[in-house]
Structure 1
Amino acid sequence: MPKFTSNNAEINYQTFGDATQPAIIFSNSLGTQFSMWQPQIDFFKTDFYVICYDTRGHGESSAPKGPYSLDLLGEDVINLLDHLKIEKAVFCGISMGGLTGQWLAIHHPERFKHVIVCNTAAKIGQEQVWNERAALVREQGLKPIADTAASRWFTEPFIQSQSTIVETLSRDLGAGSPEGYASCCEALAKADLREQLKEISVPVLVIAGQKDPVTTVADGQYMVNHIKNSALFEIDASHISNIEQPQVFNQTLYDMIK
């Protein structure tokens, strides 16, 4: 798969569909890789030029020593669009990717037709907790995080009925780069866009999981209350809603951006 260099990192990406179609770029959550978007790739590649990438420190992208910052994660997206010579795209990011999307909507609105942020918040969690997780991962690796991820990512019925999907995602997390994961934790520790949401002018769709214990519907409502041109869609899912409810997720996106 192709890679390009962005701010000292080799970013792994892949494109699907016809480059003459409107572009849509997907950004993964913490501890996953772009394969998490397979249900969306399959759905959108007919009518859109689909771009997926592994966030730095994840998947096949390199993991230069951190700490990283939200600015850095956002700049990687702009650099990828520049690399592909795409002037304007739709952006869809989940969790950490959703925070990246908010940053992009604030700092580079001219590059995006729509921004969809899913299962995310303007500030995710607490700084001390993120820094403690970064220290734990550097000390013990990713296995302790991977062993408990499923309960944060999915509802219990989905875990029981779709065990292969859950096991694959958990295994990918466990096999990831501890340094890359920890450095992204440090970026999340510092990231707080609550005061800047009012600057966003690009149309934003917020998707919030009704059963998400990590980033709640209240977090989604907060964003919508502070972003002028925005709407909230509640989905019957936990934290990785694009996988738990792919049909509803895809149709909701499509209805906004078609």
Structure 2
Amino acid sequence: MRLNHQTTGPDDAPVVLLASSLGTDHTMWAPQADALSRTHKVIAFDHRGHGASDAPPGPYTIDDLGNDVLELLDATQTEQASYVGISLGGAVGLWLAQNAPDRFHRFALLCPPVNPAANAQTWIDRAAQVRKDGTQAITEATLGRWFLPEYAEAHADEVETIRGQLLNTSDEGYAACCEALSTLDLTPKLADITAPTLIVTAEQDASVPPETVIPLASTIPGAHLEILENAAHLVTYSHPERINSLLLTHLT
């Protein structure tokens, strides 16, 4: 599987992977890329079915998405890396922490869905809707969950950037990733995670409610939890300075 990716920062610096949310591509990390690339070799990538990555027919599984990342490490000749993921990217990070601990130093997981299979029908229905009507059918509702109204009003350009990414995502790729989420339950092996892990949740996140994320801090050994106030799902955009500070502290 060929994952499109962009590399910035010094070649001899520690590597960090950036994994984006459902319906976006690697450019969503623009608020973080410059800050992280001063101290790290940053590899920001598109999940399968997203951006310029290959989009094979679905359904996909979390094993598919996780193994794609391991193949990316091999393709870039990266023995070990740290990993930052938001939303879908956070779920993939949890899978990697459980299934490939020898390839990763640290994890920073932002608003990660842990057990979306508990609402399996929601994801199955969304996959069917997108296959029928395209990602435009879910874009406005998604933006409403990802940004608080006051942020959206004051930052119209940023919201438009994310709207464009949602609209440009492959319908099949988006739907197939919804199907991966519909079967995903990462709770059984959370206590086996050994890598230092930062967990971030947003107080007003309607996509991945904080009450589903906060328990990770007591389940993953040694995990550090940060709860952002006055924030919805896409914290990388709404709170870039806070996120950048947390990431730099955790990764260095």
Whole-angstrom distance in 2 between the partners of 1:172 and 1:217: 25
What is the 5 A alignment of 1:1-258?
A: 6=1, 10-124=2-116, 126-236=119-229, 237-258=231-252
Tell me the SS of whatever aligns to 1:55. Answer: coil
Whole-angstrom distance in 1 between the partners of 2:63 and 2:173: 16
For residue 123 of structure 1, what is the amino acid of its counterpart?
Answer: N
Q: TM-score, normalization: structure 1?
A: 0.94
For residue 6 of structure 2, what is the amino acid of its counterpart?
Answer: Q
Deviation at 1:91, TM superposition (A): 0.2
Q: Does the 8 A contact of 1:105 with 1:202 survive in 2?
A: yes
Whole-angstrom distance in 2 between the partners of 1:147 and 1:217: 22
Which residues of structure 1 form unaligned runs of 5+?
Answer: 1-5
For residue 232 of structure 2, what is the amino acid of its counterpart?
Answer: S
Identity across aligned pairs (percent)?
Answer: 36
Deviation at 1:147, TM superposition (A): 2.3
Tell me the SS of whatever aligns to 1:126. Answer: helix
For residue 248 of structure 1, what is the amino acid of its counterpart?
Answer: R
Tell me the SS of whatever aligns to 2:108. Answer: strand
Q: TM-score, normalization: structure 2?
A: 0.97
Task: Count matched residues.
Answer: 250
Deviation at 1:229, TM superposition (A): 2.1
Whole-angstrom distance in 1 between the partners of 2:206 and 2:55: 28
Tell me the SS of whatever aligns to 2:207. Answer: coil
Whole-angstrom distance in 2 between the partners of 1:221 and 1:149: 22
Tell me the SS of whatever aligns to 1:11. Answer: coil
Deviation at 1:256, TM superposition (A): 1.2
Deviation at 1:86, TM superposition (A): 1.0
Tell me the SS of whatever aligns to 2:215. Answer: helix
Deviation string 1:162-207 (CA, Å, 9 cap, x unpaired) is 0111012112211221100000000000010111111111111100
Structure 1 runs, 4 residues or longer, greater than 6 Å off: none
Whole-angstrom distance in 1 between the partners of 2:246 and 2:89: 18
Range that drifts further, 96-105 or 163-172: 163-172
Whole-angstrom distance in 1 between the partners of 2:248 and 2:228: 15
Tell me the SS of whatever aligns to 2:188. Answer: coil
Whole-angstrom distance in 1 between the partners of 2:164 and 2:29: 16
For residue 244 of structure 2, what is the amino acid of its counterpart?
Answer: N
Q: Does the 8 A contact of 1:220 with 1:232 survive in 2?
A: no
Q: Does the 8 A contact of 1:146 with 1:171 survive in 2?
A: no
Q: Does the 8 A contact of 1:145 with 1:174 survive in 2?
A: no
Tell me the SS of whatever aligns to 1:60. Answer: coil
Whole-angstrom distance in 2 between the partners of 1:22 and 1:43: 14
Which residues of structure 2 form unaligned runs of 5+?
Answer: none
Deviation string 1:194-239 (CA, Å, 9 cap, x unpaired) is 1111111111110001111111222221111211121101123210
Deviation string 1:72-117 (CA, Å, 9 cap, x unpaired) is 1011111111111111111000000000000000001111111111
Whole-angstrom distance in 2 between the partners of 1:225 and 1:216: 17
For residue 74 of structure 1, what is the amino acid of its counterpart?
Answer: G
The Cα RMSD (Å) is 1.0
